[in-house]
Structure 1
Amino acid sequence: MRIPVYLAAFTALLVLSITVRDADARVFDPETATLSNGMQVVVVSKRSAPVITHMVWYKVGAMDEPQGKSGLAHFFEHLMFKGTEKVPAGQFSEIVAKNGGQDNAFTSSDYTAYYQAIAADRLELVMKLESDRMRNLKLDPKEIETERQVILEERRSRTENRPGARLAEQADAAFFMNHPYGRPVIGWAHEIRDLTHDDIKGFYDRWYAPNNAVLVVVGDVDMADVLPLAEKYYGSLPVRDVPDPVAWREPPHQADGTVVLHDRDVTQPSWSKRYLAPSYLYGATEYAYPLQVLAEVLSGGSTSRLYSSLVVQDKVAASAGAWYSADSRGPATLGFYVSPAPGKSLDDAASAMEAKIADILSDGVTEDEVERAIVRLTDAAELAKDSFQGIARTLGAAVTIGRSAQDVEAWPDRIAAVTIDQVNEAMRHVLTDQGALVSKLLPAETSTQEGETTGKGKS
């Protein structure tokens, strides 16, 4: 059989650029490569079913938007389906569906990603489709206006009509004093309305390029299957001059704050408190792994410290827990939340949570809590091996923000090496006595004169 020219031409590239698999790989056993134009490629071979997940990640998110132009990154989550000369508007998803697949996209502050789940023998098809819209997107003014209205309606339904979402948005904006993590990923409504055709085209031309993208393929393939096709479709696209991301820094948080939202639709009050924290790439990065263990100690299921004490034992809360994620280009947050149990007030629940935070700071965590948290976390990593899309998301997010596939592979070992002293040191580094933000979600205030609902929620 005659070997295709592109396959022969890149045999040497395949040999030279694929990262040798680590014999001690612990999680997904990825192969990595870099195309001739700088596009990164990550492949995980999973032969359990003849299907693949194909994802293209762009190293641009809401934090990269120009000041006053919020919503641009998310706008492209919609516009990328509006067609090229080769694939008219609406046909991208239709072609994927006709071939038995599904497709979608998502945006965050750190990145934007597009994916298809489809039969493995359709890999070339989805590469052809995805690479076409990487550089050949038609930005028709009528389509832009249509999608603008769709996005504004999405914002109304997902944020403006949901008290909890409105509070979260206001809390983010109040918490981050300088970093663009304080701007909503979907954008502020008034700025979405004001985005021009030039704003949108400029954003596409600036960021949508192969040298600013990561290809992740997981499923019934290996790098030998993927790399020649990737070079044919993505590698043929020209390199563009992509600007360096702004190195945003957050100044020290020195003053505590409180954000309160009253709304008539609130039936279950809630309270939360958040602290600025390091991530894998920001701040005191040595604390990222211990903080993950701490979050698991505090909030890892029904036997975790906060749930078992506040909900099960003291019965002061209907729900209670903590959150932390290290996967971000910028600063992370360590936060606590609680909702009161029936018959208890929000002040009761909040005071109980504050007392638990004080206890944790005073006494630290225990050796047994740390050991059990590490077991739960490493067990979860083992279970993650079964999800094609989960694998693609984990590796794609890591590589896109500037980490490596090897960092992901080393995660179980690094978590297992965390000690009780490291957890307590990280906790005390973050849970300082200044700079926290409290959020309260409450029912609408009522008038004592007529008993009518008043306040700051919807009328």
Structure 2
Amino acid sequence: MLRTRHLAALPFAVLILAILLGLLFGRGGTISTGAPPESFRLSNGMDVLVIPDHRAPVVTHMVWYELGAADEDAGKTGLAHFFEHLMFKGTDKIEPGQFSRIVARNGGQDNAFTHYDFTAYFQVIAKDRLPLVMEMEADRMTNLQLTDAEVLPERDVVLEEYRMRIENEPSAELQSEMNAALYGGHPYGRDIIGYKEEIAALTTGDALDFYKRYYTPNNATLIVAGDVTARELRPLAEKYYGVIPERAPTFLRKRQEIEWPSEDKRVTRRDARVQEATWMRYYPAPAYSGAGAREGAALDVLAEILGGGTTSRLYRSLVVEQSVSTGVRSWYEGGRLDAGKFGIYALPQVGGSLDALEEGVEKEIARLIEEGVSDEELERAKTVIVAGAVYARDNQRSMAYAYGEGLMTGMSVEAIHEWPERVREVTREDVMEAAKSVFTGTHSVTGELLPGGAG
């Protein structure tokens, strides 16, 4: 049962698809139309957000827990993701493995995902089945039954997932090393799935302790998007979730500060499974919440201008004019609580030189810093980003995810709702300030994935 998708563990082709989807859906992105979603808090501390969408009698029901892989105790990495798997085991009402089957029999879909800063569970289902999934989700929030018979085989599943997503993917191993070099000892420097030897040592007792400490309503947020209003949802939320008592204090994060690299770093891997070379670079960057609305929006626009598509600076220069690359993209990853990063990815022409590719990227960045951006580039980039927010509104699940990710990583409902407006307000000067903050006075991590033997 492989439920989660970890960006750092994906093949590069899939990584780029994920980045493209992120450009559409990952900016806190619903288009600003009217009032923002309604929110309220239950007496046990559980927050609730309602995002009305009355086009079809369907709802997306999500429960977000304000803890993720970056919150794990030393020596217990992988526990947040491992526990995500275990939440699909049974309670005294639902047999192990039956949760998803019940959702499917009622015409719905369900899944879950683990992030550095949160873990979330969701179901997409007809409106008249909303009470059913709320009752089931509330049940496993407090009544999960775990024994060695359920826990230990699932640990083997996670270890197999590690082998598939990390050990069998040279690109994932490269990204793991690059993240470690960029973030240092901060938890963002390790894979969400955890360290293999620590996963193998996790026990049923570890899982139960984790569950009792963190899976409490005062650490959770309920988000429901779809054919429902706050007035309709409140009595259901109080009935199913409001009666769950707090069983642990609200979790207060205590994380170490990120120490960015004090010099440029390079990670080179050779692997016999690699057919063609790949080049990547990560730059330190703030998270959306740390950057603020103005700088965060400007970083999005910068990424689009520099390497957002076939009209971008890097694509025109490296692919069209110089023919040293077959594909190139830049992105800003701001959806984290403590800090983000700015990335550039490029593939050389078959048999081409990574040195020429790297030189081309650096020259284009230097030209942008020296010459600035044009009004035409600025308006085109903003149009693409805002259009992505419009398209995101057509997907109920992506709309709910955008709000959930934003709330879990330090943004307010208003900031998420108004994000497209902040993008529209970005000026050329804002983009240049963002570019200088990323590319000047910082130290990057460059990654090279090469064909050949081990290295």
- Which range is displaced more, 277-286 or 103-112? 277-286
The match for 1:336 is 344
Code of the aligned partner of 2:91: T
Does residue 137 (structure 1) correspond to residue 144 (structure 2)? The answer is: yes
Distance 1:26 1:67 in 2: 44
Indicate the SS of the match to 2:327: strand
Inter-CA distance 279–117: structure 2 relative to 1 (3 Å threshold): same
The match for 1:375 is 383
The match for 2:366 is 358
Code of the aligned partner of 1:108: H
Distance 2:293 2:214 in 1: 27
Conserved? CA contact 1:43–1:217, under 8 Å = yes
Distance 1:385 1:28 in 2: 14
Distance 1:427 1:84 in 2: 52
The match for 1:291 is 299
Distance 1:45 1:102 in 2: 19
* Offset, 1:290: 1.0
* Offset, 1:365: 2.1
Mapping of residues 377-416 of structure 1, within 5 Å:
377-416=385-424
* Offset, 1:283: 5.9
Conserved? CA contact 2:152–2:204, under 8 Å = no
Decide which of 39, 48, 68 is 2:75's aligned counterpart: 68
* Offset, 1:146: 0.5
Mapping of residues 422-437 of structure 1, within 5 Å:
422-437=430-445
The match for 2:219 is 212
Mapping of residues 106-145 of structure 1, within 5 Å:
106-145=113-152
Identity of aligned residues (%): 45
Question: Considering only CA atoms, is the larger Rg found in Structure 1 or Structure 2?
Answer: 1
Mapping of residues 49-448 of structure 1, within 5 Å:
49-239=56-246, 240-282=248-290, 286-444=294-452
* Offset, 1:302: 1.1
How many residues in Structure 1 have an aligned counterpart in Structure 2?
A: 424
Indicate the SS of the match to 2:84: helix
Distance 1:386 1:298 in 2: 27
CA RMSD of aligned residues (A): 1.7
Code of the aligned partner of 2:405: A
Code of the aligned partner of 1:137: L
Code of the aligned partner of 2:411: R
Inter-CA distance 284–214: structure 2 relative to 1 (3 Å threshold): closer
* Offset, 1:200: 1.7
Conserved? CA contact 2:182–2:260, under 8 Å = no
Code of the aligned partner of 2:413: A
Code of the aligned partner of 2:383: V
Distance 2:185 2:440 in 1: 20
Conserved? CA contact 1:217–1:392, under 8 Å = yes
Inter-CA distance 28–333: structure 2 relative to 1 (3 Å threshold): farther
* Offset, 1:455: 3.0
Code of the aligned partner of 2:168: N
Distance 2:338 2:442 in 1: 20
Higher relative contact order structure (alpha carbons within 8 Å, sequence separation ≥ 6): 2
Distance 2:146 2:392 in 1: 38
Indicate the SS of the match to 1:439: strand
Inter-CA distance 46–284: structure 2 relative to 1 (3 Å threshold): closer
Distance 1:434 1:126 in 2: 48
Deviations 1:313-350 (A, max 9, x none): 22110111111122210111011121101342222212
Distance 2:442 2:138 in 1: 49
* Offset, 1:215: 0.7
State the TM-score, normalized to the length of structure 2.
Answer: 0.90
Distance 2:449 2:437 in 1: 28
Distance 1:102 1:407 in 2: 29
Mapping of residues 27-42 of structure 1, within 5 Å:
29-42=36-49
Distance 1:246 1:430 in 2: 26
Distance 1:416 1:443 in 2: 43
* Offset, 1:189: 0.5
* Offset, 1:429: 1.2
* Offset, 1:267: 1.2
Conserved? CA contact 1:27–1:381, under 8 Å = no
* Offset, 1:285: 7.0
Indicate the SS of the match to 2:225: strand
Deviations 1:2-51 (A, max 9, x none): xxxxxxxxxxxxxxxxxxxxxx9537841211111111111112121111
Distance 2:178 2:204 in 1: 31
Indicate the SS of the match to 1:440: strand
* Offset, 1:401: 2.3
Conserved? CA contact 1:57–1:111, under 8 Å = yes
Indicate the SS of the match to 2:295: helix
Deviations 1:149-205 (A, max 9, x none): 000001111111011011111111121113210111011110101122232222111
Inter-CA distance 27–133: structure 2 relative to 1 (3 Å threshold): farther
Indicate the SS of the match to 1:361: helix
* Offset, 1:273: 1.3
* Offset, 1:235: 0.6
Distance 1:315 1:99 in 2: 53
Distance 1:330 1:211 in 2: 21
Distance 2:445 2:199 in 1: 28
Distance 1:48 1:98 in 2: 23
Code of the aligned partner of 2:274: V
Code of the aligned partner of 2:128: D
Deviations 1:277-325 (A, max 9, x none): 0112236775212111101111222111111221122211011111112
The match for 1:21 is none
Conserved? CA contact 2:293–2:419, under 8 Å = no
Distance 1:312 1:54 in 2: 45
* Offset, 1:433: 4.7
Indicate the SS of the match to 1:328: coil
* Offset, 1:387: 0.3
Indicate the SS of the match to 2:122: strand
